[in-house]
């Protein structure tokens, strides 16, 4: 992993640019100025659970959300997942099978094939869909598998070799299973980073995600995603997480700090 291009100052400038763009073009953030009666430098903190209720207002005025035509806003894009996997230091571009509760029409992440295996908890009417996903996973040669620890445990084991990656929530970073790679995920913010194999720290994907320390934990801003635009988002249960720099790599990490 290279820290060559990370600069705290440039990272903060990108955050400020994202915030300025949000205030200028996105109704939800513009309204904050009206409510405050003055221009703000930073958005009012939005708890992640509130995002569903304001989704319609998180899209730029010039290109509003089209509920009929667009996927739900929280899916993100394949690059976010691929970069999070790479941040583990363990992903080598294997075909990826992701255990999910719903299908997703991605075909590739980077150059690798991408497949969904429906979890046992999936909301599908047709059980054959899940069985077909499991069969495709078992038929793949040296695939990678990604899912919540419980989803992975519930899946019949691959007959050959499969590289397993666990999906961890921000509130669950204190647990580490060193047998597997780990990526950090939030249902609305998407894939945020990965735990790097050698240093063991949870690295943020700083090219896409900005984090700023606050008393309630890291405040997260997605630097590239505009549909929806997410800035100053807090995740309940993360007050124990600090935004620091990895002693080995020099890039931003989230780690538990003594309270
Ligand atoms: Zn590191």
Cα–ligand 1 centroid distance for 141 (angstroms): 30
Cα–ligand 1 centroid distance for 247 (angstroms): 7
Does the pTM surpass 0.85? The reply is yes
Cα–ligand 1 centroid distance for 204 (angstroms): 10
Q: Token pair for residue 183?
A: 């990526």
Question: How confident is the model at residue 81, as a pLDDT?
Answer: 97
Cα–ligand 1 centroid distance for 83 (angstroms): 15
Cα–ligand 1 centroid distance for 209 (angstroms): 16
Question: How confident is the model at residue 93, as a pLDDT?
Answer: 96
User: Which H helix or E strand runs over 78?
Assistant: helix 78-86
240 — phi, psi (to 5°)?
-85, 0
CA–CA distance, 203 with 237 (Å, rounded to integer): 19
Question: How confident is the model at residue 113, as a pLDDT?
Answer: 97
The answer to whether residues 58 and 229 touch, using CB atoms and an 8 Å cutoff, is yes
Cα–ligand 1 centroid distance for 196 (angstroms): 6
Cα–ligand 1 centroid distance for 79 (angstroms): 21
66 CB-near residues (< 8 Å, 6+ apart): none
49 — phi, psi (to 5°)?
-70, -15
Cα–ligand 1 centroid distance for 199 (angstroms): 5
The domain segmentation of the chain, as residue ranges, is 8-73+209-256, 78-203
Question: How confident is the model at residue 148, as a pLDDT?
Answer: 95
Mean pLDDT for each 10-residue chunk of the chain (259 residues)? 81 98 97 94 96 95 83 86 97 97 92 94 84 96 96 93 96 89 96 96 98 96 96 97 96 88
């Amino acid at each position: 992993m290279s820290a060559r291009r990370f600069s705290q100052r440039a990272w903060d400038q990108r955050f400020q640019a994202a915030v300025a763009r949000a205030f200028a073009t996105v109704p939800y953030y513009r309204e904050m100025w009206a409510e405050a009666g003055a221009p703000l430098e930073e958005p009012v903190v939005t708890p992640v659970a509130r995002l569903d209720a304001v989704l319609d207002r998180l899209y730029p005025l010039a290109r509003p959300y089209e509920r009929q035509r667009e996927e739900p806003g929280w899916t993100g894009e394949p690059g976010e997942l691929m970069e999070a996997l790479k941040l583990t230091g363990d992903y080598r571009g294997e075909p990826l099978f992701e255990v999910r509760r719903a299908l997703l029409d991605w075909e590739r992440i980077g150059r690798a094939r991408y497949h969904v295996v429906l979890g046992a908890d999936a909301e599908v009417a047709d059980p054959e869909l899940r069985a077909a996903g499991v069969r495709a996973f078992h038929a793949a040669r040296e695939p990678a598998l990604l899912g919540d620890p419980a989803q992975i445990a519930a899946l019949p084991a691959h007959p050959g070799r499969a590289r397993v990656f666990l999906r961890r929530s921000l509130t669950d970073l204190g647990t580490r299973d060193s047998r597997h790679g780990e990526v950090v995920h939030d249902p609305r913010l998407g894939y945020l980073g990965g735990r790097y194999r050698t240093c063991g720290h949870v690295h943020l994907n700083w090219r896409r995600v900005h984090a700023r320390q606050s008393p309630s934990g890291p405040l997260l801003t997605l630097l590239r995603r505009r549909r929806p635009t997410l800035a100053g988002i807090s995740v309940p249960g993360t007050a124990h997480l600090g935004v620091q720099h990895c002693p080995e790599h020099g890039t931003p990490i989230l780690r538990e700090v003594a309270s």
